[in-house]
Amino acid sequence: MSPVSASADKSGVPIAIHNLTKVFGEDGDTPFRALKKINVDITAGEFISVVGASGCGKSTLMLMVAGLLKGSTGQITVNGKSVMEPITDVGIAFQDHLLLEFRTAFDNVMLHADIRGLDRKTLETRARDLFKQLRLEHAMDKYPRQLSGGMRQRVSLIRTLVHEPSVLLMDEPFGALDALTRLQVRMDLEALWLRRRPTVLFITHSVEEAVGLSDRILVMSPSPGEVVDDIRVDLPRPRPIVLGDAPEFASYVDKIHRQFERMGVLHGIALPQGDTHPSGGHE
């Protein structure tokens, strides 16, 4: 199966990462090498997921692309410009929704108008449209404490997208959600992304989530992290609600899990010799 071709007016920009490394504490006695050489070229409008074990440098990589953390060696360019400071044409989402408790959902989204000095009328129109798309019109005047976890995360998603950034950087944005809500927010994110196709770097521990969202998946080794596989996901869009029914989906998931097994990230259970009963007992 082939994915739907990108629209001609996609809004994403290319990202190039060449010979990038990161060592923390280089001036101290015990430096920590977080990333080996990373070389990745991301096409404008691609949805890229990064998977790997905890501590492999996924979030470090994302922060360096954002310009919030400097690399030790190498270069990152966004739309052809070297990243030397925090980039501005970006939307960033984390596992914590980071909504301000004293502002309503709508006013949290409108922070962009206040902080960035953007045209408030234009942003209000976009915000109302996004609230409607995500079925949250009734929540615009509510405070975060009055919203469920899934609703708060969707408000955070609206805030991330309302200024129409060319780049989305997302670090485990669904990590705190229950399985059903996580599924819904995944579908919401894909639907919103398909409208404009910004370039996305999506950090996740969930292989299934990565396959469900991505054009490509970067598999990282345990620390110090490096990209050991770059997998192109050839599945149609929009992706189905129940991904597990497609044998192609299972094939991608299995490939990544086997990669983790080879690296020692996943381990099988070794039963004591002679113990073959599924429950651990003897017959």
Over the stretch 206-255, which tens digit does the pLDDT of each residue have? 999 999 999 999 999 998 999 999 999 998 899 888 777 778 888 999 99
Same domain for 75 and 214: yes
131 membership: H or E segment, kind and range: helix 120-133
Mean pLDDT value across residues 70-77: 94
- 26 has pLDDT over 90: no
Q: Residue 282 falls within a domain, yes or no?
A: yes
Verify that 172 and 85 share a domain, yes or no: yes
Q: Does some domain include residue 94?
A: no
57, 60, 61, 62: CA torsion to nearest 10: 130
pTM, full prediction:
0.86
Q: What is the mean pLDDT of the chain?
A: 86
Q: In sequence order, what are the residues at sequence separation of 6 or more whose Cβ sits closer than 8 angstroms to the Cβ of residue 117? A: none
**158 and 200 co-located in one domain:** no
For residue 62, what are the domain limits?
Answer: 1-89+165-283
CA distance 270 to 194: 45
Last residue of a domain, which of 145, 164, 183? 164
Same domain, 17 and 139: no
Question: How far, in whole angstroms, is CA 226 from its chain's centroid?
Answer: 18
Contact assessment for residue 227 and residue 35, using Cβ atoms and an 8 Å cutoff: no
My answer on whether 56 and 170 are in the same domain is: yes
Q: How far apart are CA 281 and CA 283, in angstroms?
A: 7
Quick one: pLDDT at residue 73? Answer: 94
Average confidence (pLDDT) over 97-124: 87
Q: Which residues in 190-200 are b (16+ Cβ under 10 Å) and which e?
A: bebbeebbbbb
What is the total count of domains within the chain?
A: 2
pLDDT band at 276 (very low <50, low <70, confident <90, very high): low
pLDDT above 60 for 2: no
The pLDDT of residue 4 is above 70:
no
- pLDDT recorded at residue 269: 59
Of 28-37, 65-74, 101-110, minimum mean pLDDT range: 28-37
Over residues 31-51, the pLDDT tens digits come to 889 999 999 999 999 999 999
238: three-class secondary structure by DSSP: coil
171 shares a domain with 156: no
